[in-house]
Chain A
Amino acid sequence: MLNHLLQRLAQIVPTLFFVSILIFGLQQLLPGDPAMILAGEERDPTVIAHLHEKLHLDEPLPVRYLYWVGGVLRGDLGESVRIQKPVRELVAEKLPVTIELAALAMLIALAIGVSAGIVSAVAKGTVWDYAANVFALWGLSTPNFWLGIMLILLFSVTLGWLPASGYVSPFEDLKANLAAMIMPAFVLGNAIAAVLMRHTRSAMLQVLSTDYVRTARAKGLDERVVILKHALRNALTPVITLGALEFGTLLSGAVLTEQVFTIPGFGKLIVDAVFNRDYAVVQGVVLCTATAYIVLNLLADIAYYLVNPRLRDSA
Chain B
Amino acid sequence: MTTALAGTTPIPRELSPGERALRRLARRRGAMIALGVVVFFVLLALLAAQIAPDDPLATSWSAVRKPPSAAHWFGTDEIGRDVLSRVIFGTRASLLAGVVSVSIALALGVPIGLTAGYVGGWVDGLISRMTDAMLACPFLILAIALAAFLGPSLTNAMIAIGISATPVFIRLTRAQVLHVKVEDYVEAARAVGNSHLRIALRHVLPNVVPPLIVQATLAIAAAVIAEAALSFLGLGQQPPAPSWGSMLNTAKNYIDNAPWMAVWPGLSIFLLVLSFNLLGDGLRDAFDPKST
Most buried by A among B128, B136, B144, B148: B136
Stretch of B2-10, B180-188, B198-206, B269-277 with 4 or more beta carbons under 8 angstroms from chain A = B269-277
Q: Is the CB of B137 within 8 A of A23?
A: yes
Which A residues touch B281, using CB under 8 A? 133, 137, 198
A282 partner residues in chain B, CB cutoff 8 A: 141, 145
Q: Which residues of B contact A5 (CB under 8 A)?
A: none
- Which one, B132, B136, B277, B291, contacts A202 given CB within 8 A? B291
> Which residue from A15, A153, A248 sits with its C-beta under 8 Å from B133?
A15
Residues of B within 8 A of A274 (CB): 141, 144-145, 148
**A177 adjacent to chain B (CB < 8 Å):** no
**A11-B129, A255-B138, A290-B133 given as contacts; is B229 within 8 A of A145 (CB)?**
yes
> How close is B112's CB to chain A, nearest CB, in angstroms?
14
Interface assignment of B42: CB less than 8 Å from any CB of chain A: no
Q: How many Å lie between the Cα of A22 and that of B274 in the bound state? A: 33
Tell yes or no: A119 within 8 A of B by CB. no
Cβ–Cβ < 8 Å partners of A194 in chain B = 277
**Which secondary structure dominates where chain B touches chain A?**
helix
Name the segment of A25-33, A65-73, A302-310 touching the other chain.
Answer: A25-33
A146 within 8 A of B: yes
> A282–B140 Cα gap in the complex (Å)?
13
Name the residue on A nearest B145 (C-beta).
Answer: A26
- Taking A202-B291, A205-B292 as contacts, is the C-beta distance between A145 and B221 under 8 angstroms? no
- Chain B residues within an 8 Å CB radius of A290: 133, 136-137
Instruction: Say yes or no: A141 contacts B277, CB within 8 Å.
Output: yes
Interface flag for A286 (CB, 8 Å): yes
Across the interface, do B145 and A19 meet the contact criterion of CB distance under 8 Å? no
- Are A27 and B145 in contact, CB atoms less than 8 angstroms apart? yes
A251 at the interface (CB under 8 A from B): yes
CB of B228 within 8 Å of the partner chain:
yes
Alpha-carbon separation in the docked complex, A31 to B255 (Å):
34
Contact of B269 among A138, A142, A249, A254 (CB under 8 A): A142
Does B151 sit within 8 A of A, measured CB to CB?
yes
B-chain residues with CB within 8 Å of residue A202 when the two chains form the complex: 291-292
Residue numbers in B under 8 Å from A14 (CB-CB): 125, 129
Contact assessment for B228 and A146 in the assembled complex, using a CB-CB cutoff below 8 Å: yes
Residue numbers in A under 8 Å from B130 (CB-CB): 18
Give residues 55-98 of A contacting B (CB, 8 Å).
none
Structural contact, B277 and A137, CB atoms closer than 8 A: yes
Taking CB atoms and an 8 Å cut-off, the chain B residues in 219-260 that contact chain A are 221-222, 225, 228-229, 232-233, 245, 248, 252, 255
Q: Give per-residue flags for A196-227: 1 if the beta carbon is below 8 A from chain B beta carbons, else 0.
A: 00100010010000000000000000000000
Interface positions, chain A 119-161, Cβ under 8 Å from B, are 130, 133-134, 137-138, 140-143, 145-146, 149, 153
Q: Which residues of B contact A35 (CB under 8 A)?
A: none
User: Interface centre among A21, A26, A194, A294, by most B CB within 10 Å?
Assistant: A26
Verify if A165 is at the interface (C-beta below 8 Å from B).
no
Residues of B within 8 A of A134 (CB): 274
B26 at the interface (CB under 8 A from A): no
What's the least CB distance linking A187 to chain B, in Å? 13
The answer to whether B228 touches A143, judged by C-beta atoms less than 8 angstroms apart, is yes
Give, as a whole number of angstroms, the nearest-CB distance from B161 to chain A.
12
Give the CA-CA distance A176 to B169 in the complex, in Å: 42
Bound complex: CA A140 to CA B277 (Å): 8
Task: Check A140 against B273 for contact (C-beta < 8 Å).
Answer: yes
Q: Does A256 contact B (CB under 8 A)?
A: yes
Give the distance to chain B from A50, nearest Cβ to Cβ, in Å: 25
A178-195 Cβ-contact flags toward B at 8 Å (1 or 0): 000000000000000010
Is B212 part of the contact surface with A, judged by Cβ < 8 Å? no
User: Known: A27-B145, A130-B30, A141-B221. Is A22-B135 also a contact (CB below 8 A)?
Assistant: no
- Bound complex: CA of A143 vs CA of B277, how far in Å? 14
Decide: A275 and B148 in contact? CB cutoff 8 A. yes
* In the complex with contacts A146-B266, A149-B252, A202-B291, A15-B136 CB distance below 8 A: yes
* Interface presence of A167 (CB below 8 A): no
B270 near A141 (CB under 8 angstroms)?
A: yes
Q: B139 to A252, Cβ gap below 8 A?
A: yes
How far is A198 from B277 in the complex, measured between Cα atoms in Å?
12
Given A248-B138, A255-B138, check contact A30 B277 (CB 8 Å). no
Taking the closest CB of chain A, its distance from the CB of B25, in whole angstroms, is: 16
A141–B75 alpha-carbon span in the complex (Å): 24
**Partner of A252 from B125, B128, B140 at Cβ < 8 Å:** B140
> Which residues of the other chain, A, contact B61 by a CB distance below 8 angstroms?
none
Cα(A142)–Cα(B33), bound, Å: 19
Please give the distance in Å from B87's CB to the nearest CB on chain A: 15
The 7 closest A-B pairs by CB, nearest first: A18-B133, A290-B136, A141-B273, A251-B138, A141-B274, A252-B140, A26-B145
Other than the given A145-B229, A198-B281, 4 more pairs (CB < 8 A) read: A30-B148, A143-B269, A286-B141, A289-B136
A-side residues, CB < 8 A to B, are: 11, 14-19, 21-23, 26-27, 29-31, 130, 133-134, 137-138, 140-143, 145-146, 149, 153, 194, 198, 202, 205, 248-249, 251-256, 270-271, 274-275, 282, 286, 289-291, 293-294
Interchain residue pairs with CB less than 8 A apart (14) = A15-B136, A31-B151, A141-B274, A143-B228, A143-B229, A146-B252, A153-B255, A248-B138, A251-B138, A256-B140, A274-B141, A274-B145, A286-B141, A289-B138
